[in-house]
Amino acid sequence: MATPELLNLVGGEWRRPEGADRAPVTNPATAETLAWVPLSPAGEVDLTVRAAAAAFPAWRDTPVGDRVQSLFRLKALMERDIVELSRTITLECGKTYAESEGELRRGIENVEVASGMPSLMQGYNNEDVARGIDEHLFRQPLGVVAGITPFNFPGMIPLWFMPYALGAGNCFVLKPSERVPMTTQHLMRLCQEAGFPDGVVSLVNGGKETVDALLDHPQVRAVSFVGSTPVAKYIYARATANGKRAQCQGGAKNPAIVLPDADMDMSTRILADSAFGCAGQRCLATSVVITVGEAREAFSERIVDDAHTRRVGFGLDDGVQMGPVISEASRERIHGLVDAGVREGGRLLADGRGATVDGFADGYFLHPTVVADVDPHGDFAHTEIFGPVLTLLHADTLDDAIALANARAFGNQACLFTTSGAAARAFRHQVKAGNVGINLGVAAPMAYFPFSGWGDSFFGDLHGQGRHAVEFFTETKVVIERWPSAWSRRF
C-alpha cells in the first residue's frame, strides 16, 4: 500500500498545498515511514487564514448556545473513535496505548468544559452607575486565532485551546507538530462531522516557514503555542511585535522533593511513573528528585529497582510500560547529555543507553536512567533532557531543598512527598512553580483550571484551559448607556 500523503483543511476543503516540500512521519518504535506531511508555504497559510476570516462573521453571529452544540457532538465523536485515535497516537508518538487514551481523556475534558461557554463568556453590569446611566461588560470573540503545538501530546494539547476559541466564536487554525500530524487529521474530520461550518476549524501542516507565516499574517489575532523554551520565546516576541495576543508554553526541568517521613513505596511508584512515563517526554515529567535526610538511601534503592524492571517496548503490546523516544536525533541528544552529566561528576545508578527491544531493532528505545551526585548548580541539573533520565540531588533540610528547587529558570511544576501538613504548606507557599503537586508526580491541572507554567516555562499572562482560555480568546467591550425616562413618555 502506498504511504499516505496528509492534507490541509482549508475553508472546509481537504487539499494538498501546491509546491510544498514534504517530510516523513515516522513510527519511533520501528523507524518505518507512516505518512508524508506537507510543509506548507506562506501562500497556503494566507489561503487558510483568509478562508477562516471569511467564515468568522457568520460564526460569531451564531448564538453561543448553538455554537456549543458542535462541541457536545465533538465530545461524543471523540469517545466513539477513542480506540482508533489512541492507536494513531501510539503509532506516531511512541507512547503506550494507555498513555494515549489517557491524554485523549484529558483532551475531551477540555471539550466538556468549553461546552459551558454560554455561562463562561458572560459579562457583568451595573444599573445606575450615575443617575439613569447603566454600564455593561460584554465578551466578544477576536476573529481568527492560531494554535501551534508540539509532538508529545497530539491528542490533548490542541484541545487546551481549540474548544474555548471555537465556543467563544473565533475561527481556529491549527498547525500541529510535523512529527505527529496523523492524529490531527482524524480530529479535524471529527470537527467536520460535529458540524462546525467550513472555515471555522482549519488545519495547516508544516514547519518553521508555516509558523512564521501565521505569526506575520495580519488577520491572525492571537497565537497559542506549546513547545520548547527557545521557540516559545521566539514566537512570543514575533507574535507580540506584530500586535497579536500570545500565550506561549515552554520547556521544563521539574523538581520533586522527598522528605524522610514520606510513604516511600507510594512516592517511588508515583515518581517513577512521572519520570519514566511517556518515556520522560512530558512537560510535567519529574526530572530531578531532591531527597532530604534519610530519604536518600530509601528512595535511591527503590527508584533504581524500578528503573531496572520497567518494561520497555512497542506501545501497542500488552504489559509495556514505556515506549521509545520520538526520534533517533532525540535519542542521540539524550545519550550526549548523559555523557556530559557523567563528565560533570554524575554517577550512573541505572544506565538505560544501548537498550534493545526484541523484534524492534530499529526503534528509538532507551531504558530508564538514574544519575546521582551531579553538581546541583551545573548544566546537567538545569538542562531539559526530555527523555527517561532522572537526576538525584540531596539536601539536609526542607528549606535547602526548596532553595535547590527554586534555583531553576523553569517553573512548570514542583512536587513534594511528605505526610506532614506543615511541610506541605511551607512548600506550597515558597516554591516557584505554577503547577504544584503534594504527593502527586504529574500535577496536570484539570481543564477547568489554568495550566499555570511560570518562569521560562511560560511567556504571556493568560494560560491555556479554563477561565484563562476564555479570557484569552475574547476581548471585553464596555458599554455605557443613557436612556432618559422622558423619552419613554412617548409611548
- Could you list the residues that contact ligand NAD (CB under 6 A)? 148-152, 175, 177-178, 207-208, 211, 226-228, 231, 234, 249-252, 283, 384, 386, 412, 451, 453, 457
Q: How many CB atoms sit inside 10 A of residue 120's CB?
A: 22
Looking at the Cβ atoms of 101 and 384, the one nearer to ligand NAD is: 384
Least distance to ligand NAD, CB of residue 402, Å = 22
CA 138 from chain center: how many Å? 29
Least distance to ligand NAD, CB of residue 283, Å = 3
Looking at the Cβ atoms of 59 and 473, the one nearer to ligand NAD is: 473
Least distance to ligand NAD, CB of residue 280, Å = 10
CA 268 from chain center: how many Å? 25
- Long-range CB contacts (within 8 A, 24+) of 397-404: 397/292, 397/293, 398/257, 398/259, 398/292, 398/423, 398/426, 398/427, 400/292, 401/257, 401/290, 401/292, 402/257, 402/426, 402/427, 402/430, 402/431, 404/255, 404/290, 404/376
Looking at the Cβ atoms of 214 and 295, the one nearer to ligand NAD is: 214
Least distance to ligand NAD, CB of residue 396, Å = 30
H-helix or E-strand containing 201? strand 201-203
End-to-end Cα separation, the chain, in angstroms: 76
Residues 6+ apart with CB under 8 A from 156: 103, 104, 106, 107, 110
Among all residues, whose Cβ is closest to ligand NAD? Answer: 227
The question of whether 283 is a catalytic residue gets the answer yes
Instruction: Tell me which amino acid residue 170 is.
Output: N
Least distance to ligand NAD, CB of residue 65, Å = 31
Annotated catalytic residue within 191, 248, 283, 415: 283
Backbone angles phi, psi at 108, to 5 degrees: -60, -35
Nearest to 150 by CA among 281, 10, 32: 281
Catalytic annotation, residues? 283
